[in-house]
Structure 1
Amino acid sequence: MTNGAELERVELPSRFFGEGITVVGDRIWQLSWKSGTAFLRDRATLREKRRASYDGEGWGLCSSGGRLVMSDGSEELTFRDPNTFAERGRVTVRLGGEPVEELNELECVDGSVWANVWKTDRIVRIDPDSGRVTAVVNASGLLDESAESGAGVLNGTAATDAEGEFLLTGKYWPKMFRVRFVPE
């Protein structure tokens, strides 16, 4: 379906605020923002299978190379086991030697991790093994002035099935954009 219609809704208990989500085979992992709880769901039915605990906040989540990659709003990415959700390592993300803080929504594509940087119009491509930023996307100018005044921050990055194509949106954005990142 490409019209954006809601097909099904899964409500979380009121004490949880749902954040990052990723598909792993026939399962879905979903983070909660401040509750330190991850939900494992059946992909077909969306029913909760179990929960796992973690320290800190949950901001973004994606799956790559047999591991989960999680952001918590800091400059670190945490690697997790896709079956148990146990921590399996961390890496500090750096651009030109400096840490890149407030890594938010994540998307794993072709061995790289794409992350939007909270409260900016930047998306960074990260080598997950070294933490080195290998590209920076300037996503400013997508919204016209009239739409920008009521919109919040860039906060949604999703790869499509088309090679090199992404969907971008943000909190309270009236539109979603289908884009390709091209070098300057």
Structure 2
Amino acid sequence: MRGAVLLLTALLTPLPAVAQTAPPPVPVSTAAPAPVPVYGFEIVRAWPHDPGAFTQGLVFRNGELLESTGRSPSTVRRVRLEDGAVLQRRELDPVLFGEGLTVFGDRVVTLTWKGGKGFVWDPVTLEPEGEFDYAGEGWGLTHDGTRLILSDGTAALRFFDPQTMAETGQVPVTVQGRPLRQINELEWVEGEVFANVWQTDYIVRINPATGVVTGVIDLTGLMPDRSNLDPTDAVLNGIAWDAEGRRLFVTGKNWPTLFEIKLTGPR
């Protein structure tokens, strides 16, 4: 628990200094912020995962996975859960770096990192069905049934109209009142946004209405042997939720394993 708190503290964006020439009109509480619950995990089952997949987005749909990958070539793919086999694959233009993915209705929607361009795909054939533009970077993507929810590496979740792709608002992501940056891959799980925190072994649980982090999932030790993985890039990234079966899947960039886990705690 202490390790999770220390790591998140290191990622907190410092609050800007505010010049103050007069006492505040109301007393400011000096009480310590409420602690953030930290959850552990149990491995339910391990599934094969393509170690060549630099995972950026992950979704469970109709018994299989939809996955987006980065690097060259970046891809969008349909993956069989049981053996990790790639059933369908589309490559992005080599100048683009693939990022987050979600399924909204009968459309797969994906982002690119710095290209300012997103794509719409058929969920079965992965035939391209459209493109759209957005400002800033694209990291993670999910939805709440009404709005697309995008992360861009900053301490914010951004909301988009899924029909027009126009940005409709945003909310700051905070831990004990302070902004938390490096929010990456996203997944909607029973009314919360689960988000990988880049280059860490932690997933944060975010209240989408307020942006407040309501819990931290500590996945330290999930992939204990990383001797053959790049210590900088092969990090935890990829969250998929099977709503019907209530199963939670997680993996990492270039990891050879996809884990089905059960949360424990909090502690």
Band of TM-score, shorter chain: over 0.9
Question: In structure 2, what is the Cα distance between the partners aligned to 1:47 and 1:172?
Answer: 25
Gaps of 5+ in 2: 1-79
1:59-74 alignment runs, 5 A limit: 59-74=139-154
Residue in 2 aligned with 1:3?
Answer: 83
1:139-158 alignment runs, 5 A limit: 139-144=219-224, 147-151=225-229, 152-158=234-240
CA contact (8 A) 1:154 1:169 kept: yes
TM-superposed CA distance for 1:175, in Å, is 1.5
SS at match of 1:131: coil
Residue in 2 aligned with 1:103?
Answer: 183
Letter in 2 for 1:148: R
Q: Deviations over 1:127-175 (max 9, x none)?
A: 111001111000110122xx22233211111112422x31111112222
SS at match of 1:84: coil
Letter in 1 for 2:226: E
1:1-80 alignment runs, 5 A limit: 1=80, 2-80=82-160
Runs of 4+ in structure 1 over 6 Å off: none
Letter in 1 for 2:119: F
For the aligned residue pairs, the C-alpha RMSD in angstroms reads 1.2
Question: In structure 1, what is the Cα distance between the partners aligned to 2:161 and 2:207?
Answer: 19
CA contact (8 A) 1:73 1:102 kept: yes
Length-normalised TM-score, structure 1: 0.93
Gaps of 5+ in 1: none
Question: In structure 2, what is the Cα distance between the partners aligned to 1:123 and 1:155?
Answer: 9
Identity of aligned residues (%): 46
2:209 to 129, 138, 154: 129
TM-superposed CA distance for 1:51, in Å, is 0.9
Aligned length: 181
Question: In structure 2, what is the Cα distance between the partners aligned to 1:132 and 1:72?
Answer: 17
Question: In structure 2, what is the Cα distance between the partners aligned to 1:175 and 1:39?
Answer: 27
Question: In structure 2, what is the Cα distance between the partners aligned to 1:135 and 1:158?
Answer: 18
The structure having more radius of gyration, on CA atoms, is 2
Letter in 2 for 1:110: E
SS at match of 1:9: strand
2:166 to 62, 81, 86: 86
